[in-house]
Amino acid sequence: MNVVRDIADLSPKIDRGTSITIGNFDGVHIGHQALINKVIEKSRENGLKSVVVTFDPHPLRIILGETPPFITTTEQKLDLISELEPDYIVCLQFNKDMAKMSAEDFVYHYLVQGLCVQELVIGHDYAFGKDRRGDINLLRRLGEDYNFHVHQVDPIYRDGDVVSSTRIRKMIQNGQVWQVRPLLNRFFQIIGNVVKGQKRGGPLLGVPTANLKLRDELFPKTGVYAVWVDYEHDIYPGVANVGYNPTFDMHELSVEVHLFDFNADIYGRKIRVYFVQRLRDEKKFSGFEELLTQIKRDIIRGQEILKNPEASLEMHLT
């Protein structure tokens, strides 16, 4: 992956100039994907390198402190952007000093001097720099001063509304993992390492589960889901429970996955969970007999859902 944290490392490689987009890209949704594809297109037309500039942490975390949970961790955001194959991703550390920087200074220092910008592609609602003064009008003026072109990309609509990180975040929090797929062009996913659970799943219930050490900030609404799990580049079908295990009076959010017909030891290993379809709410059962009866039904429904070609992981939508 061509991720650069310090623009000085790039200067020798961009002597012919760059086509750039800049943004936070939380979720790397289809609107972001369109921007990045446009940058790549402009770079090819003009013999430039394509560069995606983004920040870590998300600027709002520094500016506001308190923020909504982000859809993607920085690690995942960079992975997803690099799948679109820009030449370089510049991930700038965002801190209080950068928050104080005027839009003019940012453009001059980073984009003009640092990255030799020739083509700048930005989203319909993007503004940056102190007090968000770096909007389309300012950028167009700076483009005239420093000789770069500015292209603003139209918003993308799905089901009558603009695709935005805020909309996607709400859908996931409502459990609408199936409906969010066309907005992301993939299933919503989380990653985590498998850790020891309460030792109830296998021994007590006969339904072994992989318990995740969570790293993400955003999780689907508590409940049970049909999922695909990526473990060492193989894909396995399963069902996951997101919740607090009320039957056992637990108090911390947990995500556990039961994989169908799978019994390898995966403790400590990293897995990726793709949420395909929501099955039901999490419930407090009167005992584990009742819970087990329900889990067996969940497994049958999960298997049926995942057999459907529309639920396949590889299917591309846009």
The residues that are catalytic are 256
Rounded to an integer, what distance in angstroms lies between the CA atom of residue 294 and that of residue 241?
12
Residue 283 binds: one of ligand RBF, Mg ion, none (C-beta under 5 to 8 A by kind): ligand RBF
Residue 239 binds: one of Mg ion, ligand RBF, none (C-beta under 5 to 8 A by kind): ligand RBF
Residue 57 binds: one of Mg ion, ligand RBF, none (C-beta under 5 to 8 A by kind): none
Helices of type H across 101-164: 103-106, 136-146
Which regions of 141-222 does DSSP assign to beta strands (E)? Answer: 149-152, 157-158, 161-162, 189-195, 210-214
SS3 call for 255: strand
CB of 271 to ligand RBF, least distance (A): 14
CB of 245 to ligand RBF, least distance (A): 4
Closest CB to Mg ion: residue number = 197
Nearest to 240 by CA among 214, 265, 264, 267: 214
In the stretch 281-300, what mask flags binding to ligand RBF with x, by CB under 6 A?
A: -xx-x-----x---x--x--
Q: What is the DSSP letter of 69?
A: P
Nearest to 188 by CA among 250, 272, 246: 272
Which regions of 88-143 does DSSP assign to beta strands (E)? Answer: 88-93, 117-122
Measured at the CA of 65, the angle between CA 62 and CA 67, to 5 degrees, comes to 105
Pair 224, 279: CB distance under 8 Å: yes
Question: Residue numbers of the site for Mg ion (CB under 5 A)?
Answer: 197, 201, 209, 211
Residue 26 binds: one of ligand RBF, Mg ion, none (C-beta under 5 to 8 A by kind): none
Q: How many residues bind ligand RBF (CB under 6 A)?
A: 21
Q: Residue 278 interacts with ligand RBF (CB under 6 A)?
A: no
Q: Residue 239 interacts with ligand RBF (CB under 6 A)?
A: yes
Tokens of residue 276, six digits: 């395909």
Among 50, 54, 245, 277, binds ligand RBF (CB under 6 A): 245
Among 246, 266, 292, 301, binds ligand RBF (CB under 6 A): 246
CB of 172 to Mg ion, least distance (A): 24
Pair 148, 56: CB distance under 8 Å: no
Please identify which residue in the block is written with the tokens 């049958």: 300
Q: Residue 208 interacts with ligand RBF (CB under 6 A)?
A: no
SS3 call for 192: strand
CB of 232 to Mg ion, least distance (A): 19
Q: Residue 76 interacts with ligand RBF (CB under 6 A)?
A: no
Binding site for ligand RBF (CB under 6 A): 197-198, 200-201, 207, 209, 224, 239, 241, 245-248, 256, 258, 282-283, 285, 291, 295, 298
